[in-house]
Amino acid sequence: MTARRALHFNLFLHDTGHHEASWRLPESDPHALLDLAYHQRLARIAEDAKFDSLFLADSPALFGDVGRRPQGGIEPTVLLTALAVTTSRIGLIATASTSYNEPYNLARRLSSVDWISGGRAGWNIVTTAGEAAARNFGLQEQPLHAARYARASEFLEVATKLWDSWEDGAIIADKASGVHALAERVHAIGHRGEHFQVEGPLNSPRSPQGYPLLVQAGSSESGKDFAARWAEAIFTAQPTFEEGRAFYADVKRRAVANGRDPEHLKVLPGLVPVIGDTEAEAREIEAELDRLIAPEYARDQLAKVLGRDPESLPLDRPLPDDLPSEDEIEGAKSRFTLIVELARRENLTVRELIGRLGGGRGHRTFAGTAVQVADTIQHWFENGAADGFNIMPAVLPSGLEVFVEQVLPILRERSLFRSEYTGSTLREHYGLPRPVNQRELAVAS
């Protein structure tokens, strides 16, 4: 008998919460993003609630206006290493860019987190859009979108070869014979490609998971093709059920076309739950947050995504008709399209659009009771739009605590979410196999 599908939940940690104005609330600590104890507390709440994983975003540039919102945090792999020793089961996913790292160093760093955590590491793979990041690495302009994905694909080829450069069982630690490792089971990779020349092997053995869980967040055509080849989980922004179901079917189909089991690619749309005892109370909580948004700052951020001057976006008028097409955008293509389609579909003014984006930057924001949130999650999950959700509390820690205390019990009553962990590694939480070493596959074929 086939086991019933169960939901997967990732906690997306984002300083004081995902709402743009969360840091302005009396309860919020504007210094939280640099506070290790704060992150440890949130990680323990999520682990006690049996979340599959937690996730840290990152950018190799100072993003946004530091004068208007807390910016700049601890580098994710460093922070996750600290969280690994204060948790024991929850998965730990770090964002790192293929555009502004080198495969050897990053493969070693992520493998180290997997060792330290006992097999709980994941890598959110990003290609990084934006001129600011490019200039931090000696470039005058950002690489083109297609070039970033070409580099990313080769980056993954090199990283996985490095992780597989030690065969399982290479270390025998035979004191009697004086042989620590079988040298014939440790291999140079000799990679010679367009972007990288890497000899190898990696200077650490294959980690507990084989290699970290591979996560991806792009939803452009290039992003979906990349995910279908490499990703084992996708964090995606889908504001409506119809869009979510179409995206889900598309990436699963692409995974099959790449010879993969579609169940080995988990789709987790972002969800920003705002929960009240009544729907009216939830909407008032959301409205109070929206009232704290600084519209001029938010408009500047919107203008960057749209490739326009802020002055060309009057707050009380709709988006202009002469916006570029997605093909003309070299930054975050899928986020550009999501925002423009949202504004056009609902005929929003720039001020109204800013309010809609303030809660989750285009991810689905849902204000309602705990039962309504649970119903929405179940509907998406059971009707081909999600394998789980990337939970993005509008305010931290309170939004996480309410979700854990009020929504998860309902989902457990409906037999949709675990009460206890059944595995110890991140791959086991997501129901994914440990990758077979590429060298073993080559010998078997």
Please tell me the distance from the alpha carbon of residue 215 to that of residue 218, in angstroms, as a whole number. 10
Token duo for residue 174:
């035979």
Q: What percentage of the chain carries pLDDT values higher than 90?
A: 67
Euclidean distance between the first and final Cα of the chain, in Å?
A: 32
**What's the pLDDT at 1?**
37
Please tell me the distance from the alpha carbon of residue 190 to that of residue 210, in angstroms, as a whole number. 20
SS3 66: coil
Rounded mean pLDDT of the chain? 90
Question: Tens digits of per-residue pLDDT, 142-159?
Answer: 888 889 999 999 999 999
Residues 6 or more apart in contact with residue 284 via CB below 8 angstroms: 276
Please tell me the distance from the alpha carbon of residue 83 to that of residue 102, in angstroms, as a whole number. 24
Question: Tens digits of per-residue pLDDT, 371-425?
Answer: 999 999 999 999 999 999 999 999 999 999 999 999 999 999 999 999 999 999 9
**What's the pLDDT at 332?**
61
Q: What percentage of the chain carries pLDDT values higher than 70?
A: 92
**Rounded (5°) CA angle 246-327-253:** 25
Nearest to 260 by CA among 45, 119, 432: 432
Question: Tens digits of per-residue pLDDT, 307-356?
Answer: 777 778 877 788 877 777 666 665 565 667 777 777 787 777 877 777 66
> Which of 71-75, 222-226, 275-279, 338-342 has the least mean pLDDT?
338-342
Domains of the chain, earliest start first:
8-444 (3.20.20.30)
Largest CA distance in the chain: 79
Query: Contact at 8 Å (CB) between 5 and 383?
Result: no
CA atoms 301, 304, 307, 312: torsion sign: positive
Residues 6 or more apart in contact with residue 383 via CB below 8 angstroms: 241, 245
**pLDDT over 70 (residue 196):** yes
